[in-house]
Chains A and B, each alone.
Chain A
Amino acid sequence: MISLDLLLGRRAVRTFAVCGVLSLAACSQRETVDAPALPVADAGQTVRFGTPSPMVTFDPHVADTGPQFSTYLTLVYDGLTSINPDSLSEALPGLATSWTWPDEHTIDLTLRRGVRFIDGERFDAHVAKANLDRLMELKGPRINTVASMYAAEVLDPFTLRLHLHFPDPRLLPNLGGSPGLMVSPAAFDNEDLDLNPVGTGPWRYDRARSVLGEVLHFVPNPDYFDPAFRDAPAVDVHELTNNRARLNALISGQIDIAVVGPTEAAPARDQGFAVSQRANRWFGLTILDRSGDLVPEMGDPRVRQALGFAVDRQAIADAVYFGYARPTSQPMRPGHIGHDPELEGFFSYDPGRARALLDEAGIDTFAFTVPVTASSIPQYEAVQAYLRRVGIDMRIEVIENGSIAALARSRDYPVNTIGYPNFDPDSRHPAIWSVTAGFNPFGYEDERLERLAAEAIESLDADLRHRNYREYFNIVVKDVLTLVYLQIDDLVVYDANKLTGVRVGRFIDPLMRDIRLRSLPVAAAAR
């Protein structure tokens, strides 16, 4: 055998050994946090969740309403209202138990009594007002979703009045997102509020045991006001950005539940894991050059319709999404405001009709370029192949992750591939289809859309809103201002022997508050 002593000399070996051990030990010292010790649950009494979404901030007033909100913030905070996962336009009670509209510009919220923050502070209308004032001062990323509100007024300790610039049917549902989450006012000035949440939620964040980027531990809040959470298990959130790593962690028993893509759902199902799904997003082409400024052919609605008829949606749903997607022609899914059942099959797979539309427009062949991120290449290559068969040359340009939105705001491409979740049309109109929308860089204007949206956005009449948006999306679909091919499912796979109550929420991940262990933890059962 070779001896290192012989090669290097004993002194050198000792020096290297000591240096190595010391440096490794020094590097292993993780941040020590001055925080109270919280009880530690064993793995059997813990929901271990694998998510691709890293924790960004625990300060809800500067947080987005997305996976960040639903994975982390809803564990430790309560909102004035709660999001209804099955309805875009209805809010569920939260820290506000009920509400009335004295007039179209005013909402009175009746607040829950007997609620305390984890630092002991009481929740009341003064605290709620202070939170809303802070929200409006900080102007976080979701401030535009509550832009109708300009002031909050305390009527009595448990009644809060909201004053609105205009009647806003979306305000209450939007207060169920990150803008409406309540922070202890004593923690407003905490420099580490973004890493150390102080809310009223059903769980407390165990910062001392957590490592950002790796695993975050949450333990049940024993003082939580809602008895429905007495059997709440501990929650560990494992940040695993790689899809395959999450699947491996699930199969090897390191986690119990994970967000996955369609590629991972089938093997997980084969291994005996249950799958929960919800159609949350759509896949298609956002037409930017609606007047044909950059690619003249794009200005003709018949050409844009040809893009719709040329593609076999079902084949892509089966081959690329493994069945976890369904063909559609419209952005809104069934049950959502603006959805029109008659539009569902507007585009069928009919390459002959696509070719005929191009002939009618006097076009033999034409080309355009789309920016595509690496993860979306397979589905757009499938579209590309179908379009080529009718004489349309769609060229794919691979772009960096994170640059797609900036490109959609530029005038560099006639079409964009940005994916949208199925949010409410009130926020989609000013973002995509309005003449001033960021994703309408060529300034295409359709007065019908402006009128229909303007009426709907500021109306409390549910029938009018639905009617207007149905007409609105008939224009969007038939004039092909946006071409929707598929409704795509968000997928969660889980161990059904251990967990119950698993449902995918509106933002990729499961509704964490609903999940329970099949067998109660001993301590919870005793309660």
Chain B
Amino acid sequence: MLKLLAARIVGLVPLLLIVSFLTFLMLHLVPGDIRDIVLGVDATPEQYEELGDKLGLDDPFVIQYGRWLFKAVQGDLGTSAYNSQTVVDAVLDTLPVTLSLTFGGMLVGVLIGVPAGVWAGLHRGSLVDRAAVLGATVGQALPNFWIAIILVIPFALWWQLLPATGFTPPTESVVEWLRSVALASVALGTSASAALARQTRGAVIDVLATDYIRTARAKGLPERTVTFRHALKNAAVPIFTTIGFQVNGLLGGALIVEQVFGLNGFGSLAIEAVRTQNIPIMQGVVMMGTLVIVAVNIAVDVAYSYVNPRMRPA
């Protein structure tokens, strides 16, 4: 296990280098100029030039990237281009919001998708199976931001059971934290649950058709043991793969859903940073996003090795 972790961490270094370079490059290719935002429409050419010199905007791209990288390897991701807020502070302020939504969405997805998929797989061709397949198709077709907009109307505006906007950290109040992310989690989790239901159903059907399940039944093992101990444990590998994909997808989806709920997460930070050409913040967002995705992938690998000993590294 340690070998696996060490290999992943070593592999992370070139990955971060490539991601940081490509992000820096893309941000430079985006049309627009931070000087227009800082100086406004009345700026004189002299002001334009002075600010460019101050921010080093006229230096060659490689020099600008090198300057950023030199500081980054020393652990200094810099400060916002507009004030002295450090990139690390900006990222750490917003990370709990997006992680809460992502894992909340995943929880909703697993709680709905996996049981529905298992039930449909165990009762293939039944009415429940057909309903699950239909529900999964619809769930995957609906955009999560649209679901979010629809959910807000009854739960936040009509009945005012849940807040329409804002985030409460779990350290302040666990109940309020759950309330603040509930709607967004359901909105995000709907498509995840649909994907998980389809994948789980397929995996269960495949496993139930294998020889060792037939053998287990022939040996007279109770159906419950056959299902839970043999079938589901083996069906779990593709389910974990789907969960890994879905977590990454939910991170992206959270960026949009945050807007609907006025949440100050990664998405809001990223959109504002792109809008204002705030390159240090954008680099920080992408770097942290990369780390989160790598961490999720490592967690999925670890989970594989638990459910299937053959996948453990030698």
Contacts and interface: CB of A to CB of B under 8 A. Distances in A.
A266 B233 CA distance: 56
Contacts of A2: 114-115, 118, 228, 232
Nearest to A423: B42
Interface stretch (A300-308, A400-408, A451-459): A400-408
Given A8-B303, A66-B40, A418-B41, A212 B47 contact: no
B32 A245 contact: no
B157 A30 contact: no
B166 A214 contact: yes
B36 A406 contact: yes
Given A144-B42, A214-B93, A405-B41, 9 more contacts: A1-B115, A31-B89, A144-B44, A238-B262, A240-B262, A249-B164, A254-B165, A406-B31, A438-B45
Contacts of B42: 144-145, 423, 427-428, 430-431
Contacts of B275: 401-402
A56 interface: yes
Interface of B: 30-33, 36-45, 47, 50, 82-85, 89-90, 92-96, 99-100, 103, 114-115, 118, 149, 152, 156-157, 160, 163-167, 169-171, 228-229, 232-233, 236, 259-262, 264, 268-269, 271-272, 275-277, 299, 302-303, 306-307
B272 A54 contact: yes
A525 interface: no
A252 B171 contact: no
B169 A30 contact: yes
B84 A20 contact: no
Given A242-B259, A402-B277, A3 B164 contact: no
Q: Is the interface of A mostly helix, strand, loop or mixed?
A: loop
A141 B40 contact: yes
A431 B47 contact: no
A517 to B, nearest CB: 21
Nearest to A271: B157
B244 to A, nearest CB: 13
A274 B287 CA distance: 45
Contacts of B93: 30-31, 211-214
A27 B97 CA distance: 9
B276 A402 contact: yes
Interface of A: 1-3, 6-9, 12, 16, 20, 23-25, 27-31, 54, 56-59, 64, 66, 139, 141-145, 191-192, 194-195, 211-215, 238-242, 244-246, 248-249, 251-254, 399-403, 405-407, 418, 420, 423, 427-428, 430-431, 438-439
B260 A244 contact: yes
A141 B47 contact: yes
Nearest to B30: A400
B178 to A, nearest CB: 12
A145 B115 CA distance: 66
Contacts of B39: 64, 141
B170 A25 contact: yes
Contact of B164 (A23, A144, A252): A252
Given A249-B262, A252-B163, A27 B95 contact: yes
B156 A248 contact: yes
Contacts of B47: 139, 141, 143-144
Contact of B163 (A6, A30, A254): A254
B233 A430 contact: no
B255 to A, nearest CB: 12
B176 to A, nearest CB: 12
Nearest to A58: B83
Contact of A28 (B84, B171, B229): B171
Contacts of A16: 299, 303
Nearest to A248: B164
Contacts of B271: 241
Nearest to B33: A406
B165 A28 contact: no
B298 to A, nearest CB: 11
Nearest first, the 9 A-B pairs at minimum CB distance are A245-B262, A402-B32, A403-B31, A405-B36, A248-B164, A403-B32, A214-B264, A252-B164, A240-B262
Nearest to B88: A31
A132 B247 CA distance: 53
Nearest to B48: A438
Contacts of A30: 92-93, 169
A28 to B, nearest CB: 4
B13 to A, nearest CB: 22
A212 B90 CA distance: 8
Given A8-B307, A252-B164, A406 B272 contact: no
Contacts of A254: 163-166
16 contacts: A6-B232, A8-B303, A12-B306, A20-B103, A25-B171, A27-B99, A143-B47, A211-B264, A213-B93, A242-B260, A245-B260, A248-B165, A249-B166, A254-B164, A401-B275, A418-B41
Nearest to A141: B39
